[in-house]
């Protein structure tokens, strides 16, 4: 995202207005996010031609380091050969002097502004700051998401359907497909035995009967064991070896 020509014109007018208030005609340069010149005006014509190149260098430097040129001068001055190296690498579009600021929209750098020619110390930086106020006024506002987003609700044909299927517990509900005893071709449900019906009707009585009276299977096993193992000696069996 880069600054538009409409934004650049408003920034230019804000800087010119501040320069008129201070009675300090200056050169104003506005570049895009790539450091390319978008708009330029020299208020002190026909003299002060050197301020034009200086203002462009300030705007380019502010975009290059994404900070004011005054801050760049503070830490860049402690690095030997830093200024000369950057000046030659950028073909003269680097300078360490106050008066250049990056232009941002919602925290994103979209361009830069450079001011040169102020008739008093700190005058260039003061005029450049007018561009920052203009950007805050014309920057599009970011739409904030609502705090509580509405959650989609399930659709029911009638209000009673929303709770009707869950009015009972899961295991208390009836079968999904009731048995039709083979009338409609569906499988016949397993019939309930008499013992299950008796248990379902009175579980306590069923347990008492089961404890007092042995089941049919238990009686059969007891009779089989008594008939086969009642005698102490095993039954006589003829072996071929006994006749030899």
Contact 62, 37 (CB under 8 A): no
Write out pLDDT tens, residues 20-34.
Answer: 999 999 999 999 999
Nearest residue to 108 via CA among 32, 38, 39: 32
Q: What percent of the chain has pLDDT over 70?
A: 57
42 part of a folded domain: yes
Q: What is the mean pLDDT of residues 185-191?
A: 53
Predicted local confidence at residue 48, as pLDDT: 82
220 part of a folded domain: yes
Q: Which residues, 6+ apart, have CB-to-CB distance to 144 below 8 Å?
A: none
Q: How many structural domains comprise the chain?
A: 2
Write the burial class of residue 135 (CB in 10 Å: 0-12 exposed, 13-18 middle, 19+ buried).
buried
Write out pLDDT tens, residues 56-114.
Answer: 999 999 999 999 999 999 999 899 899 899 989 999 899 999 999 999 998 899 999 99
Q: How far is 119 from 196, CA to CA, in rounded Å?
A: 108
- Domain span at residue 134 reads 5-138
The CATH number that applies at residue 132 is: 3.30.450.150
Q: What is the mean pLDDT of residues 219-244?
A: 53
Predicted local confidence at residue 154, as pLDDT: 58
Q: Which residues, 6+ apart, have CB-to-CB distance to 132 below 8 Å?
A: 101, 103
Domain match, 48 and 124 both: yes
């Amino acid at each position: 995202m880069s600054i538009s020509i409409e934004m650049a014109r408003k920034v230019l007018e804000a800087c010119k207005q501040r320069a008129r208030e201070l009675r300090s005609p200056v050169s104003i340069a506005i570049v895009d996010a790539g450091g390319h010149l978008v708009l330029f005006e020299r208020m002190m014509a026909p003299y002060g031609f050197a301020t034009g190149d200086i203002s462009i260098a300030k705007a380019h430097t502010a975009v290059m380091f994404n900070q004011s040129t005054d801050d760049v001068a503070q830490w860049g001055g402690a690095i030997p050969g830093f200024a000369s190296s950057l000046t030659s690498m950028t073909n003269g579009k680097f300078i360490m002097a106050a008066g250049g600021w990056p232009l941002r929209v919602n925290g994103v750098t979209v361009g830069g502004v450079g001011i040169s020619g102020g008739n008093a110390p700190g005058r260039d930086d003061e005029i450049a700051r007018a561009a920052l106020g203009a950007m805050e006024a014309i920057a599009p506002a970011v739409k904030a998401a609502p705090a509580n987003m509405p959650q989609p609700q399930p659709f029911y044909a009638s209000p009673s359907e929303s709770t009707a299927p869950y009015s009972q517990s899961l295991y208390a509900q009836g079968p999904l497909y009731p048995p039709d005893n083979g009338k409609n071709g569906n499988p016949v449900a397993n019939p309930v035995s008499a013992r299950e019906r008796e248990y379902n009707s009175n579980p306590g009585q069923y347990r008492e009967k089961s404890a007092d009276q042995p089941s049919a299977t238990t009686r059969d096993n007891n009779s089989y064991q008594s008939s086969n193992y009642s005698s102490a000696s095993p039954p006589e069996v003829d072996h071929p070896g006994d006749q030899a």
